[in-house]
Structure 1
Amino acid sequence: MTGPGHRVLNFMVLGALTRSVPAALFGLLGGAFPDTVEYLIWGSGRNRHHRRSSHWFVPWLAGFLFCFFVGAGGRVPTLSGLVGARAEAVWGCAAFWFLGCLLHVLGDACCGKVPLFVPWRKKFGLRLFEMSPRRGEMSRGEWFFVAFVTLSALGAWLSRGVVL
């Protein structure tokens, strides 16, 4: 998936699931990190190493579980918790940043392959849609996928009585 697709999906899905603006925003920020870290490490040789260790779901899942259950005590971050500088709100934001990274990996698994249990072995993924050959441009299939998931999440968010 492209960067805009990841960011829109992460924000809407996490916002619908949690009804928390901080959780949705930190998920949006985490959604860009797996690709960004490849640029930081590999630079121009990024394409040879794309969707390897940075797209392995295990560290992102472990980070989320640790931050959410150990640090945040299973609580979703709130704006009042952040303003009050409560430790569980900060841990909760970190947890949803990790969850944003995990959603990035799952989004990429919808249009290609990502590592399964170890980053250098077997990969899994579906080809729900093809990617555009032009960098940063969403293909028709990605547009439909992002629109469908986003509208579904928006409907769920609004049905719970929450409007941004």
Structure 2
Amino acid sequence: MTGPGHRVLNFMFIGALTRSLPAALFGLLGSAFPDTVEYLIWGAGRNRHHRRSSHWIVLWLAGFLFCFLAGAKRTVPSLSGLAAASPESVWGCAAFWFLGCVLHVLGDACCGKVPLFVPWRRRFGFRVFEMSPRRGEMSRGELIFVAFTSLSALGAWLSRGVLL
């Protein structure tokens, strides 16, 4: 999945799930991290290592569960909580950043294979749509997938109430 596809899907999905703008924004920031960390570690040779340890879903799920259960106390971050530096809001933002990473890996599993339980062994994934051969460009299948899921999430988000 391309970067714009990840960002749109994560923002809309987490926003619909939580009705919280800070949670959606931190999920958006987490949506780019698995690919960014590959670039930071491997540089120009990152394509050789793409979708290996940085796309290991167990790592991101563990971070999400730790932040969500240990610090967030099942609260959704709010703008007022962040302004007051509430520990629950800070932990909540970290949890939704990790959830953005989890959704990134699941999005990549829709168009290829990602590691399952061990990063160097068995991989899982489905070819829901093909990727565009041109770098950074969404294929027709990805565009339809992103549009349908994000518009569904937007409808759910708006039907539940206000954004903040």
TM-score w.r.t. the length of structure 2 is 0.98
Indicate whether 1:30 and 2:30 are aligned.
yes
**Residue by residue, what CA displacement relative to the aligned partner does 1:12-70 show, whole Å, maximum 9, x if unpaired?**
00000000000000000000000000000001110110000000001100000110110
Higher relative CO (Cα under 8 Å, sequence separation at least 6) belongs to 2
SS of the counterpart of 2:153? helix
1: CA distance, partners of 2:5 / 2:56: 19
Q: Which residue of 1 aligns with 2:72?
A: 72
2: CA distance, partners of 1:64 / 1:146: 23
Q: Which residue of 1 aligns with 2:12?
A: 12
How far is the alpha carbon of 1:162 from its aligned partner?
2.3
How far is the alpha carbon of 1:79 from its aligned partner?
0.6
1: CA distance, partners of 2:104 / 2:121: 20
Indicate whether 1:139 and 2:139 are aligned.
yes
How far is the alpha carbon of 1:163 from its aligned partner?
4.8
Percent identity reads 83
- State how 1:40-59 maps to structure 2 within 5 Å: 40-59=40-59
- State how 1:40-119 maps to structure 2 within 5 Å: 40-119=40-119
- Deviation above 4 Å: which 4+ runs of structure 1? none
Aligned residues: 164
Segments of structure 2 that go 5 or more residues without pairing to the other structure are: none
SS of the counterpart of 1:82? helix
Segments of structure 1 that go 5 or more residues without pairing to the other structure are: none
Q: Which residue of 1 aligns with 2:154?
A: 154
1: CA distance, partners of 2:105 / 2:70: 23
Q: Aligned-pair RMSD on alpha carbons?
A: 0.8
Contact between 2:19 and 2:161, CA under 8 Å: does it hold in 1?
no
SS of the counterpart of 2:85? coil
**Residue by residue, what CA displacement relative to the aligned partner does 1:51-102 show, whole Å, maximum 9, x if unpaired?**
0000000110000011011011111111110011101100100000000000
How far is the alpha carbon of 1:161 from its aligned partner?
2.1
2: CA distance, partners of 1:115 / 1:59: 11
2: CA distance, partners of 1:19 / 1:118: 34
